[in-house]
Amino acid sequence: MSDREKLLEYTIPQLLRLRSQTMGNKVALREKDFGIWSTLTWKEYYDNVVKTALGLEKLGFVKGDKLALITDNIPEMLFASIGAHMLGGLSAGVYQTSLPHEIDQIINYLDIRYVFCDDQEQVDKLIEVREKIPSVQKVFFEDPRGMRNYRSDDWFISIEEVLDLGEAAFIADPDRIDAMIDEGKPDDPCHLCLTSGTTGLPKAAMMTHKNYINMGIRLTEVDSLEPTDEYVSFLPFAWIGEQMSSFGVALATGITINFPESVETMMADLKEIGPHFMFGAPRIYETIRSNIWLKIDESYRLNRWCYAYFMKIAEKAATFRMHGEKMPVSLSFLSWIGTQLVLNPLINQLGLLRLRRAYTGGAALGPELFTFYQAIGVNLKQIYGQTEITGIAYVHRDGDVRPDTVGLALPGTECMISEEGEIMSKSASVCAGYFNLQDESTKLVTDGWLHSGDAGYIDENGHLIVIDRLSDVMHNNNSEMFSPMFLENKLKFSPYIKEAVIFGDKQDFVACLINIDPVIVGKWAEDRGISFTTFMDLSNKPEVAELIREEIVKINENVEKDYFRIHRYAILYKMLDVDDGELTKTGKIRRVFVQERYIELYNALYDESVTQKHVEAIFQYQDGQTTKVEADMEFYTLELK
């Protein structure tokens, strides 16, 4: 058994203890606070987790208890979660954007007894639903600002007080913690990870220690990482994508985790760190791409010309590089010049110059966007998996990146396509089922094979191609099958389109609702002297409609089958939003919900006699105030060849 394989015999707390013993003085965590970066070594990291665990025990936390975390990404979230694991308990991440009634439902579903919040904003959400969550015994917080009035309530306690309790307990009995850590087994559930919930309330997958560690080991067998490598933690901890990195990859490799000062400063902090390894949802890469195009558009004419010229060269070179083929000498030379003069300075401004490994997952990323990043020198690769298989089961290999696929299975992962066309996978990273949902757990895994719920097939190169969710694959009135996600990704590659929702199931043609990108389209309008006030006003401009028409025509020209082309479209007057239930927490479209919510618009799309419809919308602000707006929404028809 290799040294790497031996790590599968450890739990997360046991592996953290090993890192403390073997890499004690190396930096494990780095956090920016008030503009200053501070560091924690592996030994300090472990010591803080131990103190948190013993402090929790003093507060009554026992084996089997559950701790919820509602927090931005800070070191204390790892102290609390792994501290709970040390005691034989389970942690559970809750999205910090969750509303009070959502938190109430999750806490009651998971039977949470302890909650960790980073600040007053999250604490106030718990206070709002306090009477509905009687199982919660204690709430502890990291940021004391605004918490003075709560100090007299023993429901609350600061993380500093928890650490002090733990330190006193350790001094009194220093051997106790090792005994508790040794009791853990790799197959014990340690974390409850909420699924994305595209069709309703999320379910909680019971993740084990081995799930995370196996995933970290297998990924680094494909793409090795060095202990000196840097990672920036900015994804929500409630998402499996962040747990993959902070639990699995970091402990399997010993890389350093960096915590930005805030979500708002993330891009600036990214430049200061210059990470070697990065994972992000498609929306992250779409946003970065839009920012690049905005910077280029605002640049001098010579710069724009150089960028356009060398990008064409770079895209050709990227095709050779992605397929591991040797490019012609002339192309190689021009590509080198473009990289030195244009592309390296560009990605250096983004903080991505040192990046060796970049991954995207959670939703499909269009082939065009993939090629774009490979062209500018960012080694972006698609991963595919689900929460229930620890986020990743398939990945591209260097020199074998095919933008229309999700790559090959990780070492130790088997793939099978069912008779119905469903992708099924088997590995040591498959979760132990859903918490308190036995029937759902039984449907999830059959003889060790995980049902993904996705349709796909394996191509002649052994790569997995994902078509769409089985439930989302559509058939028109002639029973011809098509994937709405495929068209949506093509639409979103346009810098002017932020989001798109494709319809057409059991219909005569394909139609869509479009969300324009307010930043890019707003800049486009300003440059042309088109005045506007609100997002609704901008969306309703005839010039914007013509701009979007041109983008859709380009896409239709590259779609081979007539029935797959977009025939009708409308530009939605508001952004699709997580808080309105239109998107999941990870940015996936809740298609059925959107169709039902905008049923009048959907019906208008499929009535070609409708060219305009009066709409009324009520917007609610964060302070609870509402405002009603009215507008005439236009519907457009494209002639198909």
Q: Please compute Rg for the chain using Cα positions.
A: 25
**According to the model, what pLDDT value does residue 344 have?**
92
Cα(257)–Cα(248) distance, rounded to whole angstroms? 12
CA dist., res. 84 & res. 87, Å (int): 5
E strands, 74-221, where?
A: 90-93, 114-117, 138-141, 156-158, 189-194, 204-208
- Do the beta carbons of residue 578 and residue 526 sit within 8 Å? no
Rounded to whole angstroms, the Cα distance separating 237 from 46 reads: 19
Structure tokens at 53: 């665990």
b/e 41-64 (16+ beta carbons within 10 angstroms → b): bbbbbbbbbbbbbbbbbebebeee
Alpha-carbon distance 603 to 423, whole Å? 33
- pTM of the full predicted structure? 0.84
Nearest to 487 by CA among 506, 507, 465, 468: 468
Query: Per-residue pLDDT tens for 300-356?
Result: 888 889 999 999 999 999 999 998 899 999 999 999 999 999 999 988 988 889 999
pLDDT of residue 639: 84
**Which token pair is 76?**
């204390």
Whether the CB-CB separation of 507 and 477 falls below 8 Å is answered with yes
Residues contacting residue 332 through CB under 8 Å, at least 6 positions apart: 317
Task: Give the sheet arrangement for strand 497-503, strand by strand.
Answer: 497-503, 510-516, 566-571, 626-637, 612-620
- In this structure, are strands 156-158 and 138-141 parallel, antiparallel, or unpaired? parallel
Q: Cα–Cα distance between 269 and 351 in angstroms, integer?
A: 9
For residue 465, how many C-alpha atoms fall within 13 Å in the half-sphere facing its CB?
13
Strand residues in 471-625 grouped as ranges (E): 474-475, 481-482, 497-503, 510-516, 566-571, 612-620
Look up the CATH architecture of domain 474-637. Answer: 2-Layer Sandwich (3.30)
Neighbours of 152 (CB within 10 A): 7
- Domain 3-279 classified CATH 3.10.20.30? no
Domain ranges within the chain, ordered by starting residue: 3-279, 280-423+453-469, 474-637
- Contact between residue 571 and residue 545 where contact means Cβ atoms under 8 Å apart: yes
* Ranges under pLDDT 70 in the chain: 1, 196-201, 363-364, 619-626, 641
Q: Write down the residue that tokens 């494990």 correspond to.
A: 28
pLDDT, tens digit, for every residue of 433-449?
A: 999 999 999 999 999 99
State the amino acid at position 589 in one-letter form: I
Question: How far, in Å, CA of 188 to CA of 85, rounded?
Answer: 10
Backbone angles phi, psi at 633, to 5 degrees: -95, 130
**Confidence (pLDDT) at 199:** 47
* Burial of residue 190, with CB atoms counted within 10 A of its CB: 0-12 exposed, 13-18 middle, 19 or more buried: buried
The rounded distance, in Å, linking the Cα atoms of 143 and 78 is 16
Strand partners, 259: 31
Backbone torsions φ then ψ of 251, nearest 5 degrees: -75, -30
